[in-house]
Structure 1
C-alpha cells in the first residue's frame, strides 16, 4: 500500500487542529512535529509561518470568511479554510490557484468529495467577490479587536488601562514575527568575540542597542550554533534581560530566584555574580528544574543550585533574612509574549488574571521574609496588565511597611522608559520590539 507522505500544508493543518483541540502550546508542538516529520530547510520556515500566521490572525480570518460560510462546518474544515485564506491574503509567493488546489486535495483525502467541493466553492467565492471590509465595523475598539485579532475583552481592558493609541500600537506589534535575541555569557567570552564567532559560523547578528550583553539575530537560529553548544550564549528576549540588572548584583551575594524555570534569568544572575556567591533556583516541577540544571552545566556556571520547591512554602526550608537579593519572576497571564505564543490570547480570561494576581501576592508575602535587612526584592512579569503589575506592587507595599520602593538599576537605554516613581518599569512590545515586561524593585528597611 502506497502511504501518502504528508506535505507542509497537511502538517500545518494537523498542528492547528491539535492546538485548537487540546490547547497545546504552539511553540512546543511545532518543534515536535518538525522533528517527527524530519522537516528541513524552507519547509520548516513555511510551516512555522503558516501555523503562527493562521493562529495570529484567526479572528480576522473568521471575519473575512463569515459571509461565505452558510452552515456549521466540522472544526477541521474551518481550520483548513483559515489556513488557505491566510496564505491567499498574507503570503504573496504562492499563487491562489495552487493554494486552492492543495486545499481541495486535502479536503478529498481527509474528508470526501462533498467537502472538497465545498472548500473549493468557498475559496473561489472569496477570490471572486473579494474580502468584506473591516470599515463595516463602526465601533473603533471592536474594529481594532477584529483587525488585529485580539479578543474584545482584552482590547477593552487595555484601552481602559493605557488608552486607545498605545493599545493599537501594541496589538499591531503583536502581529509581527518575533526577532531572536541572545545574551552573551561574559564569564566565557566578550560580546565582540561572540559576534565574530557567530559571523564565522555563517550567522547574521548584530550587537543589541538595548542591553550591553545582548545580540540581535538577523538570520538563522542560534540554538543550532556551536557558540550556543559551548555555552557562550543563552537565547533570551531583551526585555527579559533587563531583570537581572534590576537586582543590582555585586560579587559574592546570596540570591534566590523564586520562580526560576527554564532558568534564563538564573543564568544571567550567576554570570553577573562572575561565578561567585550562589543563586538558588526554585521551581515547582521536577522536569523544569532539570532544565535549569542542564542550562547551568552548559553555561559552565558552578554557582547555581536548583531545587524542586513551591516558592509559596520557601519559608519552611530557608531561614528568615538569609538572602541578599530575591527575584520573583511571577507566574502571570503572559500577555506580553503574544508574538511568541499567539494562542495565549484566545485561551486567557479575566478570571485567570484575578486568580494569578492572588498567587503573585502569596509568593511575594512568603519570600519577603527571606530578604536580609537592606536587601532587594525584585518583582517581574511578562505581562501587560495593571492588576498583575502596578496593583500587585501597591498592595504588597501596603501590606509590608518594612519594604520601601527602590530605584531601578538598568542599562542606560531603558532608563527613559522607567515610570515617574523610579521603581517601576512597564515595557510595551512596541517600545523596541521585545516582549511586554514589567519590573519593580523594593528594599527591606535596615
Structure 2
C-alpha cells in the first residue's frame, strides 16, 4: 500500500476497525461528497455483504417457481418482482469466529467468500499452519482477518494453487447464506449468481432477437449468458477473452447453462477487428479489468494510482475497439465493478469526445450518476444497498 493508512471506525458488522489506505480514502471522498455522504460510510458498507444476494434463473431451462421449489427451506430465498428471472437470497448473521493455533492462510478473494460461509477451495489456500487433515482450523486472510473455521480436508503438503477441491469445509463464519455450488439446481444449470446491478445492465440496454452479440471480456460468462437468455437464444453470440483459463471458464459456464450456440474464442480484444475481420456486432459488451473497488464484502482497502493508470489505458483500448467493430446504429455497453470516476464516467466521456457515438438513455429505471451530465448508471455502497457498479449504454452513429 503506497502512502499511509487511515483508521476507519464502523458502528457494527464484522469489521469494527478498518485500516484504509490514504489514497483510497481520498479517492472515495471525491465521489461520496457528491452524494452527501462520508467516505467512511462507503468504506464501512464495502466491508459488509449486501443484505440480499441475487440469483438469475435460467428461464430457458425452468421457471422461477420451479427453482424456488428446489431451494433449501433454510435458504431464505424469494422472488423479486422487478425481473422475471430474479431471485434474492437473504444474507444472515452467522457466528463469531475466534483465533486458533491451527489455521489456514487464504488469499484475499477466497477469504471474502469464506466470510459468507463458502468452503475454502484449494486455489485460495496458501498455507496450513499447525493443522492436520480432519482437525478444526481457523481460516485467516493473508492480511490477518479471521474469517471462518471448519475442518481441514487436505494434508498440509497438498496445498497447491493449481489443484482443485475443498481445502477447508467451513462450519462457522460471520455471515451465512446457502452454499450455491453444492445445489443440484446450480450444477444442472438452472441458476447463475449475479448481482442486481449486473442484471439491470442487460434490461437497461435490451439486446434484441436477431442481434449479433459480442462480449469482449466475457469471463466468467455472466453477461453473455444473460444476453443469451434475454433474447431466448435467437441471436448470434460471440464471447472473447485473452487467456486459456478465462476461455475455459466461459466454456464451462455455457455448458452448465446449456447455451450451446455461444461461440467462444481466445483473443486479444484490443485488436479483434484484425483477427476477426468478419465480426460486426450490433450489440457489444465491454466489462474490462478494473480496480474492483465496488466488490463487497471486501477485506482489502488499498488503492494504487499506478495500477489504475495501467487499467485505464486498457479500458480505453477495449472500448475503442468495441466502437470500431460495432455496426452503425448498434449499441455498446460499458460497465465496471469499481468506484473511481476515472475508470467510469471518465473513460466513457473520453469515448464520447473521440468517437462517433452518443449516450443512450437506459431502457429500465436506474440510479443516474451524480458525477456526469450524461445518463450513466452508478451504484455507490453506503448510498445504495448494492455492490459498487457502473454502466453506460452508447449508440454508434
* TM-score where L is the length of structure 1: 0.62
CA displacement 1:267-298 (0-9 Å, x = unmatched): 11111121121221111111111111111111
Q: Does 1:403 align with 2:357?
A: yes
Task: Work out whether residues 276 and 303 of structure 1, in 8 Å CA contact, stay in contact via their aligned partners in 2.
Answer: no
Q: Match of 1:351?
A: 306
Q: Match of 2:159?
A: none
**Counterparts in 2 of 1:42-191, with a 5 A limit?**
147-163=17-33, 165-178=37-50, 179-191=52-64
Task: Work out whether residues 54 and 195 of structure 2, in 8 Å CA contact, stay in contact via their aligned partners in 1.
Answer: yes
Task: Work out whether residues 259 and 330 of structure 1, in 8 Å CA contact, stay in contact via their aligned partners in 2.
Answer: yes
1:223 offset after TM fit, Å? 1.7
1:172 offset after TM fit, Å? 1.7
1:209 offset after TM fit, Å? 5.6
Determine which of 250, 256, 281 is the counterpart of 1:292: 250
Q: Distance in 2 between matches of 1:209 and 1:430?
A: 24
Q: Give the secondary-structure state (helix, strand or coil) at the position aligned to 2:316.
A: helix
Change (3 A) 1:431 1:242: farther
Q: Match of 2:76?
A: 204
Question: Alignment RMSD, CA only?
Answer: 2.7
Task: Work out whether residues 180 and 237 of structure 1, in 8 Å CA contact, stay in contact via their aligned partners in 2.
Answer: yes
1:166 offset after TM fit, Å? 4.7
1:338 offset after TM fit, Å? 4.3
| Paired positions, count | 302
Change (3 A) 1:264 1:321: closer
Task: Work out whether residues 289 and 315 of structure 2, in 8 Å CA contact, stay in contact via their aligned partners in 1.
Answer: yes
Task: Work out whether residues 181 and 215 of structure 1, in 8 Å CA contact, stay in contact via their aligned partners in 2.
Answer: yes
Query: Using CA pairs below 8 Å that are at least 6 residues apart, which structure has the higher relative contact order?
Result: 2
1:442 offset after TM fit, Å? 0.9
Q: Match of 1:424?
A: 376
Q: Give the secondary-structure state (helix, strand or coil) at the position aligned to 2:199.
A: helix
Q: Distance in 2 between matches of 1:422 and 1:156?
A: 24
Q: Distance in 2 between matches of 1:393 and 1:330?
A: 12
1:206 offset after TM fit, Å? 1.5
Change (3 A) 1:372 1:151: same
Q: Match of 2:109?
A: none
Q: Give the secondary-structure state (helix, strand or coil) at the position aligned to 1:326.
A: strand
Q: Does 1:342 align with 2:299?
A: yes
Q: Give the secondary-structure state (helix, strand or coil) at the position aligned to 1:154.
A: helix
CA displacement 1:152-188 (0-9 Å, x = unmatched): 2111122123316152321121121345321111111
Q: Match of 1:433?
A: 385
Q: Give the secondary-structure state (helix, strand or coil) at the position aligned to 1:292.
A: helix
1:321 offset after TM fit, Å? 6.9
Higher fraction of helix: 1
Q: Does 1:275 align with 2:233?
A: yes
Which sections of structure 2, spanning at least 5 residues, go unmatched? 91-176
Q: Give the secondary-structure state (helix, strand or coil) at the position aligned to 2:203.
A: helix
Q: Match of 2:214?
A: 256
Task: Work out whether residues 321 and 369 of structure 1, in 8 Å CA contact, stay in contact via their aligned partners in 2.
Answer: no
Q: Distance in 1 between matches of 2:57 and 2:40?
A: 33
Q: Match of 1:215?
A: 87
Q: Does 1:368 align with 2:240?
A: no
Higher fraction of strand: 2
CA displacement 1:91-136 (0-9 Å, x = unmatched): 8xxxxxxxxxxxxxxxxxxxxxxxxxxxxxxxxxxxxxxxxxxxxx
Task: Work out whether residues 367 and 377 of structure 2, in 8 Å CA contact, stay in contact via their aligned partners in 1.
Answer: no
Task: Work out whether residues 368 and 376 of structure 2, in 8 Å CA contact, stay in contact via their aligned partners in 1.
Answer: no
Which sections of structure 1, spanning at least 5 residues, go unmatched? 1-19, 21-57, 64-88, 92-145
Task: Work out whether residues 205 and 217 of structure 1, in 8 Å CA contact, stay in contact via their aligned partners in 2.
Answer: yes
Bigger Rg, structure 1 or 2: 1
Q: Give the secondary-structure state (helix, strand or coil) at the position aligned to 2:223.
A: helix
Q: Does 1:394 align with 2:314?
A: no
Greater Cα shift, 419-428 or 265-274 = 419-428
Change (3 A) 1:90 1:203: closer
Q: Give the secondary-structure state (helix, strand or coil) at the position aligned to 2:233.
A: coil
Task: Work out whether residues 294 and 388 of structure 2, in 8 Å CA contact, stay in contact via their aligned partners in 1.
Answer: yes
Q: Distance in 2 between matches of 1:429 and 1:204?
A: 23
Q: Match of 1:14?
A: none
CA displacement 1:16-62 (0-9 Å, x = unmatched): xxxx9xxxxxxxxxxxxxxxxxxxxxxxxxxxxxxxxxxxxx9759x
Q: Distance in 1 between matches of 2:59 and 2:384?
A: 24
CA displacement 1:321-378 (0-9 Å, x = unmatched): 7111001001110001142x423x33x4011111111111111112211111110001
Task: Work out whether residues 403 and 443 of structure 1, in 8 Å CA contact, stay in contact via their aligned partners in 2.
Answer: yes
